[in-house]
Amino acid sequence: MFERARPVATAAALGYVLAGFGGAMTAGLTGWVWSQDPFQQVPNWERVLAQQANRSAGIAVAFLLIFLLAIVTLFFWLSVAARAQRGKHPTSATLGGLFLTVGLLAVAAASIWNGIVGPYAALLHEWTPDAAYKQALFAQLVAATFVFAFGVWCFILFGAVGLYFLGRALREAGGSPRTGWLPDVLRLAAALALLHVPVTIYLARESLLNNHYIRSLAALNELLLWGGLSTATYFAARYLRAEARNLFATAHLSKN
């Protein structure tokens, strides 16, 4: 019984760390979109290529950390899904874990591409004298920025569906007091994540076509998305902590 409780307690501790990191990221992203228009940030691609070649090791480490963060987050949410499977609706818990897995693995895969393939292509771009090869590598490096954006959007959309199913599974878990507000918070975070998509498209349209950046809406959009996900992570960590305490208490009783 103690062996069953320890992974749950570990996942709960990781959840608190992830919630704190998410809160800091929420504040950072909200401040960033408030201070500047992210849709009109056009980089100097030649300079970006040179920086990627010169800082390839640092870029690889940075994206490796993002990869590890995605894997740790996946472990946490799969722990939540595993506990939710013990309720009355295990299918919803399984679907929730599946969709979250797809979303987080998309971020992990995009991190590998941008952290390893991208810097290697930049090094080849600086090395090769072949003009046609340089042009092909240049196009690949520009496309790599959209690969990571694709991974993030997969995380947001697949994650929203996964959070909804987890909330549904925990709602139907027989009314356990350990779930508390978690089912409602999960479904609210899922709704905010889905709402983020049309709002972002609207903001991009206003900025790029009408040259009108709605600063307050952009900041609110980021605050609701990442703040909602951080809050959901915090409540899920509390749920896992309560589950771990219950498992430890049961183990002590059975031992005595």
* CA nearest to 73, candidates 159, 189, 135, 169: 159
What pLDDT is recorded for position 196? 95
What pLDDT is recorded for position 190? 96
**For residue 245, which amino acid is it?**
R
What pLDDT is recorded for position 175? 45
Instruction: Report the C-alpha gap between 170 and 80 in whole angstroms.
Output: 10
Name every residue whose Cβ is closer than 8 Å to that of residue 99 and which is 6 or more positions away in sequence: 158, 159, 161, 162, 165
pTM of the predicted structure, to 2 decimals? 0.88
Mean per-residue pLDDT pooled into runs of 10, the chain (256 residues):
74 94 94 90 72 78 92 94 84 94 94 85 80 81 83 94 93 59 93 95 92 93 96 93 79 63
Residue 55 carries which DSSP code? T
What one-character-per-residue DSSP string does 143-173 give? Answer: HHHHHHHHHHHHHHHHHHHHHHHHHHHHHTS
What pLDDT is recorded for position 2? 55
What pLDDT is recorded for position 253? 64
What one-character-per-residue DSSP string does 96-127 give? Answer: HHHHHHHHHHHHHHHHHIIIIIHHHHHHHHHH
Instruction: Report the C-alpha gap between 159 and 95 in whole angstroms.
Output: 11
Instruction: Report the C-alpha gap between 170 and 163 in whole angstroms.
Output: 10
Please give the sequence-ordered ranges of beta strands (E in DSSP) within 3-128, or none if there are none.
none
What pLDDT is recorded for position 174? 47
What pLDDT is recorded for position 3? 65
Name every residue whose Cβ is closer than 8 Å to that of residue 11 and which is 6 or more positions away in sequence: 75, 76, 79, 80, 237, 240
Instruction: Report the SS3 class of residue 209.
Output: helix
Domain boundaries, the chain: 2-255
